[in-house]
Amino acid sequence: MGKNNNTEILAEVEISASIMCIDWLHAARQLKILEKQNIDYLHWDVIDGRFAPDFTMGSSIINKFRESSNMQSDYHLMVEEPSSIFNSFSTTHGDIFTIHQECCRNLHRNLVDIRRKGARVGVALNPGTSLEVLDYIIEDIDVILVMSVNPGFMGQELVPQTIGKIEKIKERINDLKLDVKISVDGNVNYENIPKMVSAGADILVGGSSGLFRNDLELEDSIKRLRECIQEGVENR
């Protein structure tokens, strides 16, 4: 791929660091490493305990955290009626807000509200969610987040049908000649990354299985993750 391997790979496949999985005792240091290593986004899982099990950070903590970083944010809202909290979050141009169709009484209206904030809009598809959800909105969104596990807890195994789902979505995007990115979240590990990227993933959400690992320093896990991305890009 030429002399600037990392730069060229990142231009094709972006990395979103799941802050849910960060080492909270060393969060400031790890955040600096993410910036230095040119990680593309900070991924914020916002869970209300109703749509998905578990609870995570609220907007006040996230906004405070963002003050110490210039990185773009990738918000994944796993909450019922997400429109009620859109304005709680700090937003900069290029940030992503992703919501679930199952959470909204009016999905299209929610997407319009996010766009008005100046953010990019995304729709998340759970493993059991049909691609028909995209029929009337795919031309109005910037990102499709494919959940390769069911929303909620860390450490789940990949739902195998996810890879075929990514391929079908990529084919549809290409047929319609749209500028829509496919993001993948869930068990993004070194075995699955090449398959995800080869199938068409544009953004990978790195969590406990690929980025914030207990057995590797963060710099080393980033290097390994990028090697796996390169393998997937070469097999496209």
Residue 11: is its pLDDT beyond 70? no
* C-alpha angle 122-151-28 in degrees, rounded to nearest 5: 80
- Say which residue, 93 or 183, is predicted with more confidence: 183
What pLDDT does residue 53 have? Answer: 57
In the chain, the domains with their CATH numbers are 5-234 (3.20.20.70)
- Give the per-residue pLDDT at 8: 53
What amino acid positions are annotated as catalytic residues? 45, 185
pTM: 0.91
Q: CA 59, CA 151: separation in Å to the nearest integer?
A: 19
